[in-house]
Structure 1
Amino acid sequence: MSAELSAVRRLLARHGYPARSVRLLGDGLGHAAYEVDGDLVVRLTGTGPVAQVVREADLLHAVAAVAPLPVPMPVLVDGDAGCLAYRKLPGRPLLEDPDPAAHAVSVGVALGTLLAALHTQLIERWAALVDADDTAPADWLAEAQQSYSAVADHLGPTQDHVRAFLSTAPPAPAQDRALCHNDLGIEHASSTRPPGKSPASSTGPTPRSPTRPPTSPRSTATSAHAASTPP
């Protein structure tokens, strides 16, 4: 057994969680994540302030109180050890859906409902839990244009739509702020869809993306133009 797995076992034992099995799910971005007994994800922070782990756990609890979709709930928080543990959400990553395009509408409705719930929150209530994202739309566009040049040869017939979007002038920075997810990629959503059924979605980390932070809303300036695209 590796030293890292043994350390996870000892950490859990100190908190009254005897582990029968521990395996590495992945590491990167300053974190390492482990699956314990098939249903618990233990994430250890290698860098960054200890207080960040505690704030992240507080954020998950706050989001769960207002979100219409399941949110990972912390079952163990050890700031000194940089440890955050939560049960896996039910379902499977949407990346593994055999026919994702057939369910795009239902998934979009579910995630749109989540975003609507976040966007209507009073920013003042979340000031201690989230950071403000003041990146100007022009900066986001410049980054997207650079990314496009790296993947353009793989886009096929969708290139015309992408080029049209990237050639559109960005909106001016907005003054109004809204709480948003800020990283709502398909790798952060799971589906409980039985075969032949529309998926019920959840948000947060899945077994396929364990090293990414859990659901992390941010306070972001928005505008009518920007609201038509994922935050």
Structure 2
Amino acid sequence: MIKKTIIWVSLGLTLGSYAQEKSSANERPKEIEQLLEAVGGQEAWAEAKGFHMLEIAHFGSLKHPLIREYWVDFEKPRIKESTQGILRRQVQALNVDSGWTDREDQELKTWSTSTVGQWNSFWPGIPTRIFHLIAKKDPGLTYNVYEDRIDFFVEGNFAVWIATDVNGNPLAYGRSKNHLETHFLGEILPYGPVNLWKDASEPGGQWKVVMVDYELLSDMSEVSYDLSPKE
């Protein structure tokens, strides 16, 4: 895939009105349909309950990469993250209103209310969860279409913006409207029935992840998100 450059444009009142019309129309805008088709289509995403992902993460502050696995529930705020590195082995899990960090060299840590809240605020706008909500035509998902991006809202709250090319392929996404947090996406590749990015990175090379595998899951019952001590 040819390397892409995204030019962020200033949007005035006219464009804001355009976006409102697009988000309130009975039929979904072509930009939404193109995005869904580009990442695999409605059938692939609509029936999924969550996903498993394997990635290799590179951080500028670390000498060696980390291997990370995720199990994410699309229907409830549940995220499980397993991280392995030369000096780090840990599992973290969000289970709706509770969370834990389990490191092999430390005692199990129960998350504070603040940490649980941070993970809960992250969960609605996970890009592939957005694809699932588009596919199932979830009434809680709304959007504003602009020239340079699509803003997505879940239950009325801003969740994430996604920028696409003319064919609907995702180019970048972020969770701040002023683009302070931008993840640039690499070449689009097939992962089973869906199409997703080979890698994602932040400006300046501080962070980059390479996706090794991505699998949609139809049953989340085998995934445990409860790390609390068992009596």
TM-score, normalising length: structure 1:
0.23
Question: Rg larger in 1 or in 2?
Answer: 1
Bigger helix share: 1
TM-score, normalising length: structure 2:
0.23
